Chains A and B, each alone.
Chain A
Amino acid sequence: MRRWLPLLAVLVTTACGGQQSSDVSLCGSAGRLRVGLVGAAEGRAQSAAGVLPDQDQFRLRELLMVASRCEVQLEPVLSPEQARLRLRSGDWDLAFLPPGLTAVALEQSGRYGLVRQLGRRSNAKSQLLVRADSSLKTRADLRGRRLGLLPRGSLTGFYLPLFNLHGLRFSEVHYALSYADLRTMLDEGKVDVIAWDGSLPADKARYRVVHEDSHLIPLGALALSQSLLQSDHQPFLRQLDQNVTQLPPSLGYASGVIPEPYALKELRGIVAAVEGWTLPQAGQPYTVYGAKGDAETAAGGGR
């Protein structure tokens, strides 16, 4: 019975809300709604359940099915790299994205548009973290060291750290799916420096920040594919807005709030610039180098 409660709520809201509901379904090109779910925050989830607990996933799927009147294929993704590839190949019709992937989605030649804001304000900052007992004090000291990053697609864990390390050569680059895993790698001595999110607690006695980027990290967003944006998607969004309490709170869905693309402008420039570089392979040496273009001016304050 509990699993049908959200659906009942949707039906009651539709019937009693006084607003006209649409009989038109909002489906993707394959006759179904392919939904990507990465969540609003980057590098927090260490496991499948960390993206969204099973029950929340099923409830979200049913809610989306009722709102879109379409078969829903929900794909929770742990790795931002996998999500980036899905966005690039247009595999998703709708996606719940963190900031970095939101910027990536906007860089796909207008394939996606942002319709709702996700996540909550925090003091997220891209940092470079070393162990407190490390001799590394400045960015220049990182030359020839081993670097730990989140996969490609993460803003605070990949694009901003690389942008801020421009010109340096690393002996190895390693990846982990979460900041917690990166910290473990640092503790175990597998890497010398890791990308870090300043909003996460880090024991100052054990770790030290060698660099902090000054950019404000924007919030994540719910992105819709262009074909859905060109369809009548307002009834669908209205259903989600009206049933915001049925959506998993961890998504931070902001009812009726349309993201401000301007807030992403600078960071989009950085993402676009880094995406144009030759990017590091896991376990391989890597020199951070590539054209910065317009993004250099934007990043000036962060250096």
Chain B
Amino acid sequence: MSPIKRLFPEPGRRPLRQQLAITLTAILSLSILVAVLLLNLLFGWQAREQIDQRAAFFMDAMLSVRAYTSKKVNPIIAPLNEGTGLFRPEAVPSYSAQTVAGYLKDKEAYREYSYREAALNPTNLRDKADSFETGIIENFRRDPSLTRQSGSKSTPLGVVHYVAQPIKVTKESCLVCHSTPDRAPKSQLLAYGDSSGFGWKLNEIVGTQIVTVPQQAVFAAKDRSLLATALLMVASFAVVGVITNMVLSQLILKPMREISRKAEEASVTPATVNFEERERRDEIGLLARSFERMKQSLSISMQMLKDRKGQG
């Protein structure tokens, strides 16, 4: 006999209580399984949404820093870079955005976040695009309508979620430092040389801003939520199962066992047995009334047999 058949034999082969318990367990287990699978999809979608929101917020914050530097700081600092003194990178939006991102990383909560401005031909060699970043920049250059790329990136330290936006030369003022060395401030040439960060053109996509946010922690939190939900469901379904079983026992099984005991007694001494359950309005009452009628018929039949014996 197969295990399923052994667990679910034909009706009537086990006590009702056991049959009910097994059936309830099977239904509730299946419900939990389906619910967990659906919740896993839902929680996963929510986790991805959360990661996207975090990345978008981080990116917007950095863009704001860039805008502030470009509008408010650069006009003050840039003239100081014209001479041969020390080059002040504070005038460069990219520098300030990456510096602010660095300060954010000092906080424990942002330790695994990162912001980078990578370019194919940067002034500061720290910003040189690696092969992954070069691929992203090339995608932006091939398809100018592409404004955003995102996905997962595997690093030696784990998987991270990235969001990338193109860096496009939209202002003529950018070309002061990035067109030809003879236009660039002397202090910049002394700091970074005259071989990198030049040759940029107006409206050209020269790099990408990449935000990476940790996804391991978010997905771990999702898994913990899913596990907690599943355990709560198991616990509540177990309570529901026990209560259902108790109610069924009280409403059906116990009265049936009582009727059965009385029916057995009535088969020997029908006069001493009283089916009080016949007053009930449910199926148990119906059964009790049937047994009551059977008991009366049995009493009459036994009385008739006695009378016939007395006449004989």
Q: Which of B106, B111, B112, B196 contacts A48 (CB 8 A)?
A: B196
B128 within 8 A of A: yes
B269 to chain A, nearest CB (A): 83
Q: Which residues of B contact A78 (CB under 8 A)?
A: 125, 192-193
Q: Which residues of A contact B192 (CB under 8 A)?
A: 78-79, 82
Q: Which residues of A contact B86 (CB under 8 A)?
A: 81, 85
Distance, CA A58 to CA B156, complexed state (A): 13
Distance, CA A77 to CA B105, complexed state (A): 23
> Taking A31-B106, A51-B125, A283-B84 as contacts, is the C-beta distance between A82 and B130 under 8 angstroms?
no
Distance, CA A70 to CA B84, complexed state (A): 37
A152 (CB) vs chain B CBs: closest residue: B86
Count the A-B residue pairs with Cβ separation under 8 angstroms: how many?
Answer: 74
Interface centre among B112, B126, B196 (most CB of A within 10 A): B126
Interface size class of A (residues with CB under 8 A): 35 or more
B102 within 8 A of A: yes
A175 to chain B, nearest CB (A): 6
A interface SS class: mixed
B196 to chain A, nearest CB (A): 4
B27 within 8 A of A: no
Q: Which residues of B contact A151 (CB under 8 A)?
A: 190
A62 (CB) vs chain B CBs: closest residue: B156
A76 (CB) vs chain B CBs: closest residue: B125
A233 within 8 A of B: no
> Taking A48-B125, A58-B131, A65-B156 as contacts, is the C-beta distance between A282 and B190 under 8 angstroms?
yes
B121 (CB) vs chain A CBs: closest residue: A48
Q: Which residues of A contact B190 (CB under 8 A)?
A: 79, 81, 151, 175, 177, 282
- Name A residues whose Cβ lies closer than 8 Å to a Cβ of B: 3, 7, 29-32, 46-49, 51, 54, 57-58, 61-62, 65-66, 69-71, 73-79, 81-82, 85, 151, 175, 177, 281-283
Q: Is the CB of B84 within 8 A of A48?
A: no
Q: Which of B128, B156, B195, B196 contacts A57 (CB 8 A)?
A: B128
Q: Is the CB of B191 within 8 A of A75?
A: no
Q: Which residues of B contact A73 (CB under 8 A)?
A: 126
- Interface flags for B29-55 (1: CB within 8 Å of A; 0: not) read 000000000000000000000000000
Interface centre among A57, A71, A73, A81 (most CB of B within 10 A): A71
Q: Which of A32, A49, A81 contacts B105 (CB 8 A)?
A: A32
Q: Which residues of B contact A51 (CB under 8 A)?
A: 125
A77 (CB) vs chain B CBs: closest residue: B125
Q: Is the CB of B105 within 8 A of A30?
A: yes
Q: Which of A30, A54, A70, A85 contacts B157 (CB 8 A)?
A: A70
B2 within 8 A of A: no
Distance, CA A85 to CA B190, complexed state (A): 14
Q: Is the CB of B157 within 8 A of A71?
A: yes
Q: Is the CB of B102 within 8 A of A30?
A: yes
B295 within 8 A of A: no
Distance, CA A71 to CA B85, complexed state (A): 33
Distance, CA A78 to CA B197, complexed state (A): 13
> Taking A47-B193, A66-B156, A177-B190 as contacts, is the C-beta distance between A31 and B126 under 8 angstroms?
no
Q: Is the CB of B130 within 8 A of A79?
A: no
